[in-house]
Amino acid sequence: MSSEQAHVVTIREVAAAAGVSIGTASKALNGRGKLREETRARVSAAAERLGFRPNPLAQGLLQGRTYTVGLVTGDSFGRFSIPVMLGAEDALGAGQISVFMCDTRDDPIREQHYVERLLARRVEGIIVTGRRTEPRPSIGADLPVPVVYAMTQSASDDDFSVIPDDRGGGALAARHLLATGRTRIGHVTGPERFEAARRRAEGLTDALAEAGTGLAGDPLFGEWTEEWGRQGADILLRAHPDVEAVFCGSDQIARGVSETLRERGRRIPDDVAVVGFDNWEPMVEGCRPPLTTVDMNLGEIGRIAAEHLLEAIGGAPRARGVLTVPCSLVLRESTRVS
């Protein structure tokens, strides 16, 4: 007996042999969708010729249902995708649906492979998530199952995406600092090429303008790191030594900013208040003092995405466009008023 593993024929190979898309091949083999009989016959003939066999996981289940959905993520670290998944599982648990999680490592080829494998397992829907909100290519326009994007957004207007309201989060931080009596506010944030960094800066500056004040200098765009937080705080203090508060584009940046403020003899929050963004517990609780921050409510994003997916699986018309979920402010000692 040969020690080599037999080649497993994929649905992509069947689709290529039949001259149709992967979605059409899946519909034909699963008896779904409105297809011409000639198309179904051609796909079935190609599958038989190649020796394609559906995954046994799907066999024998009531009415062909698998009670599973796929979660495709490019967030290898899990910083954003795990809270989204937990929120999704809370919603899916009510329907007794399990989640298959696939890590693409931001590799389009790997992503396509996982989509094919999920379809082979006959998942009933797919949630796509990531670690940034920039529009990304759709995973497919003709897939046989509904797809929802969470903590990332599809570039296609026909898809449905759920993302945090970054602009609103920036405004939330600004209003809180103004309410504590701080008016000379600086901003140290991540790379300008990131939509999240731009939106948070816009929310901050717009809220300050509405209150009749302005930002201390221009937003300082850099990197999503503690080191940049240290450098950015140094730049800000040299240009605006009278700054009363710093809104940071992430908790990591805020931790670096806090270190530089302490090194320069500035007391937090007595001399300078600091607000972060993300509510990443290892960062915010490790700061001295603990950090006031904006929470993106990732669990809520996952829950809403999963509920829309369940509705689509149940036959409801598929939602389209982008839904933004409000952020919330988590108060800690870094903005306390004496």
Question: To the nearest whole number, what is the mean pLDDT of the chain?
Answer: 90
- pLDDT for the residue 249: 98
- pLDDT for the residue 94: 61
More confident position, 26 or 230: 230
Q: Residue 222 — very low, low, confident or very high, per pLDDT cuts 50/70/90?
A: very high
Q: Residue 261 — very low, low, confident or very high, per pLDDT cuts 50/70/90?
A: very high
Q: Give the residue extent of every domain in the chain.
A: 11-54, 66-164+298-326, 166-295
Using the predicted structure, report yes or no on whether residue 296 has a pLDDT greater than 70. Answer: yes
Judge if the upstream peptide bond of residue 54 is cis by omega within 30 degrees of 0: no
The lowest-confidence range among 90-104, 208-222, 323-337 is 90-104
| 299-317 confidence digits (pLDDT tens) | 999 999 999 998 898 888 8
Rounded Cα gap, residues 30 and 35, in angstroms:
12
C-beta neighbour count of 193 within 10 angstroms: 9
Q: Residue 42 — very low, low, confident or very high, per pLDDT cuts 50/70/90?
A: very high
Strand intervals (E) in 223-283: 245-248, 273-277
- pLDDT for the residue 305: 95
Mean pLDDT value across residues 125-133 = 94
- pLDDT for the residue 8: 65
Judge if the upstream peptide bond of residue 108 is cis by omega within 30 degrees of 0: no
- pLDDT for the residue 3: 38
- pLDDT for the residue 55: 47
More confident position, 36 or 325: 325
Is the CATH number of domain 11-54 3.30.70.260? no
Q: Which residue has the tokens 């829907």?
A: 125
- pLDDT for the residue 117: 94
Give me the percent of the chain exceeding a pLDDT of 70: 93
Using the predicted structure, report yes or no on whether residue 217 has a pLDDT greater than 60. Answer: yes
Using the predicted structure, report yes or no on whether residue 337 has a pLDDT greater than 80. Answer: yes
Question: Class assignment of domain 166-295?
Answer: alpha beta
Q: Residue 61 — very low, low, confident or very high, per pLDDT cuts 50/70/90?
A: very low
- pLDDT for the residue 95: 58
- pLDDT for the residue 112: 94
Both structure tokens of 225: 């790191």
Please provide the CATH number assigned to the domain covering 66-164+298-326: 3.40.50.2300
149, 141, 159, 146: which is closest to 21 by C-alpha?
A: 141
The two domains 11-54 and 66-164+298-326 share their CATH topology (first three levels equal): no
Using the predicted structure, report yes or no on whether residue 106 has a pLDDT greater than 90. Answer: no
More confident position, 6 or 159: 159
254, 246, 190, 251: which is closest to 222 by C-alpha?
A: 190
Rounded Cα gap, residues 308 and 283, in angstroms:
32
Rounded Cα gap, residues 60 and 45, in angstroms:
23
Q: What sign for the dihedral angle of Cα 120, 122, 125, 129?
A: negative
Mean pLDDT value across residues 125-153 = 94
Burial track 229-245 (b if 16+ CB lie within 10 A, e otherwise)? bbbbbbebbeebeebbb
- pLDDT for the residue 6: 52
| 183-196 confidence digits (pLDDT tens) | 999 999 999 999 99
- pLDDT for the residue 54: 62
Q: Residue 228 — very low, low, confident or very high, per pLDDT cuts 50/70/90?
A: very high
Both structure tokens of 155: 């570039």
Question: Measured over all CA atoms, what is the biggest interatomic distance in the chain, rounded to whole angstroms?
Answer: 81
For strands 328-330 and 292-295, give the pairing: antiparallel
- pLDDT for the residue 5: 44
